[in-house]
Amino acid sequence: MSYGILSFGAYVPSLRLARSAIANGMAWAVPSLKGLAKGERAVANWDEDSVTLAVEASRDCLRGITVEPAQIQLASTTLPFADRSNSGIVADALLCAEFTGTEDLGGSRRAATSALVRLGLCPGGRATLLIATDCRDAKPGSVQEMNYGHGAAALLVGEGKPIALIRGAASFHDDFVDQYRAADTDYDYTLEERWIREEGYNKIVPKAVSAALMHAGLSIDEISRVVLPANVGIGKGVAKVLNLAPERLVDPMLVNCGDCGVAQPLLILAHALESAVPGEKILVIGFGQGADAVVLEVTSEIAALQNNHGPGHSLAHKRVIDNYPMFLSLRNQLDVDFGMRAERDNRTSQPAFYRRRKDITGMVGARCTGCKTLQFPRSKVCVKCGEMDTQIDESLSGLVGRVKSYTEDWLAYTPLPPYIYGNVEFIDGANCMLEFTDFAPGQVQVGSTVKMMFRIKDFDAKRHFRRYFWKPAPVQASSREIASAASA
């Protein structure tokens, strides 16, 4: 048994906005944006937020892993609840045990890398699921709107057979303000890039890197790859200061994904681990009011996870949009008049939710011990054999299903029309009427294979509460999801 990173995972939303759409839409006011209009940025759908992104990254991380996390640390600067355990929602969605520790981390883009430093400096026997997620919005027409993206990544750290050992770690605090967002504001305020590069990255990062390398007993020449959440220009400057060949910098994923804030270092690391080889030493850097540095050494266990984990799958399967007003509407920055159909009060009955929280957040149904029929929701009487009190809990969230019937409704309200819903059947008899997500108009068909995704069900705008549930989404043609469908 050794201590280190046991698994990794990532998730990038399927929606991507072509940056040219932003440039074209804002050309009348900010023509200079055309110089940044390359590639695309990841965009969370209307029913995605930092919590749902975290759940999907965690599911990717825990796929096929027998070690159960004893604690969950959720790092983000955009968590939806200020006074409710966001990590607790994630724990329930992942069907974690009731005594699983939960902790929300924030206040800095280094929230995740600082947590990883602590896990490296103070290793313990308890397996920790460290999740980094961000869903930042930016002011329309800003450089941040061009550069930002939405995404999440997760690491399982603990004792077992690590895919990467933590060889060294260091954290350096410096209240260097390169950007900030006040608690009562919606958007980040960013300072001039030259100031950030010269006084920030080039002077602060080397201090953390030197300390981490000293802790690891290594030199910079022994580092195979460097994870740095920064653009190419800043990366080249840091590489020069560190006497590092720029080729060792891992692709920061800015062109095809965007800057995902707190999630970016772990997201880039997950991308690097997809192609890492045993013996490689990877330096992970976090930056923001100081710097973190963690030195990892890849082990031979990595090969078992490289085809089934990481951001490669979600990066490859995407739905590119070039409709800038649609993007603004999805991010609640354009108040579209959807008519009277959108006028409804979505008050949540908290007592009813509490009583059925396992069914809702974990999609826990039941299987009859007599006829083996799977059903959702659980009932006192089996829907097939009619026997009473013969059912045991079983979740449907990890199953692959088939569309039995569907409706594309262009009259009912949804933030991204059409409203698609229908009946999904699962193996062993379960049939559920569900709201679909991530399907383009005309894409869903009878017989379509679907997977379950944890999403926002709806918002209570009057009381500022949001409800979550599971929705069927299209299964993409990948070895990962084909295998899941075959097993179902």
For residue range 210-244, what is the model confidence (pLDDT) as tens digits? 999 999 999 999 999 999 999 999 999 999 999 99
Q: How confident is the model at residue 485 (pLDDT cuts 50, 70, 90)?
A: very low
Residue 135 lies in a domain: yes
479 burial (CB, 10 Å; 0-12 / 13-18 / 19+) is exposed
Same domain, yes or no, for 52 and 104?
yes
**In this structure, is residue 21 part of a structural domain?**
yes
Last residue of a domain, one of 330, 354, 384: 330
Burial of 416 (0-12, 13-18, 19+ CB in 10 A): middle
Say if residue 240 is in the same domain as residue 367.
no
CB neighbours (10 Å) of residue 377?
A: 14
Q: Is residue 477 scored above 70 in pLDDT? A: no
Number of compact structural domains in the chain: 2
State the distance between the two ends of the chain, measured CA to CA, in whole angstroms: 33
Q: Are 439 and 475 in contact (CB under 8 A)?
A: no
Domain of 14: which CATH number?
3.40.47.10
Residues 258 and 281 in one domain: yes
- For 377-382, which contacts have Cβ atoms below 8 Å and span 24 or more sequence positions? none
Domain annotation covers residue 220:
yes
User: Does some domain include residue 352?
Assistant: yes
Q: Which domain holds residue 172?
A: 2-330
Report pLDDT digits (tens) over 20-35: 999 999 999 999 999 9
Whether the pLDDT of residue 346 is over 90: the answer is no
Sorted by sequence, the CB contacts under 8 Å of residue 7 that are 6+ apart come out as 61, 62, 65, 67, 155, 156, 163, 305, 309
Distances (CA, A) of 300 to 6, 184, 228, 474: 12, 47, 24, 34
Checking if the pLDDT of 64 tops 70, the result is yes
Which residue carries 């049939």 as its tokens?
431
Name the CA radius of gyration of the chain, rounded: 23
pLDDT, residue 33, reads 95
Integer Cα distance of 404 and 424 in angstroms: 5
Q: Do 347 and 297 reside in the same domain of the chain? A: no
pLDDT tens, residue by residue, 311-344: 999 999 999 999 999 999 999 999 999 988 888 8
Got the DSSP string for 154-204? EEEEEEES-SEEEEEEEEEE----SEE--TT-SS-EE--HHHIIIIIIHHH
Residues 275, 381, single domain; the answer is no
Q: Is the residue at 10 inside a domain?
A: yes
How many whole angstroms separate alpha carbon 462 and alpha carbon 257?
33
Distances (CA, A) of 430 to 289, 310, 357, 402, 423: 51, 31, 20, 11, 10
Q: What is the pLDDT of residue 487?
A: 42
Residue whose structure tokens are 């933590």: 166
- 466 occurs within a structural domain: yes
Domain boundary (330, 356, 382) is at: 330
315 and 357, same domain (yes or no): no
Candidate from 86-95, 175-184, 257-266 with smallest mean pLDDT: 175-184
Tell whether 316 and 352 lie within a shared domain.
no
Q: Are residues 42 and 188 in the same domain?
A: yes
Residue 388 gets which letter from DSSP? B
Does residue 59 fall inside a structural domain?
Answer: yes
Same domain, 302 and 180: yes
Domain boundary among 308, 330, 352: 330
Are 315 and 347 within one domain? Answer: no
Q: Is the pLDDT of residue 479 over 60?
A: no
User: 176-190, 253-267, 366-380, 469-483: lowest mean pLDDT where?
Assistant: 469-483
| Same domain, residue pair 400 and 353 | yes
Distances (CA, A) of 127 to 250, 300, 397: 27, 20, 23
| pLDDT score for 486 | 43
Cα distance between residue 365 and residue 398, in whole Å = 12
Residue 335 lies in a domain: no
Q: Tell me the percentage of the chain whose pLDDT exceeds 70.
A: 98
Residue for token pair 């009057």: 462
Work out the angle at residue 284's Cα, subtended by the Cα atoms of residues 201 and 109, and round it to the nearest 5 degrees: 60
CB within 8 Å of 221: residues ≥ 6 apart: none
Q: What is the crossing angle of helices 86-93 and 50-62, to 10°? A: 40
How many of the other CB atoms lie within 10 Å of CB of 302? Answer: 21
Co-location of 345 and 277 in the same domain: no
| Cα(229)–Cα(247) distance, integer angstroms | 15
User: What is the CA 373 to chain-centroid distance, rounded?
Assistant: 33
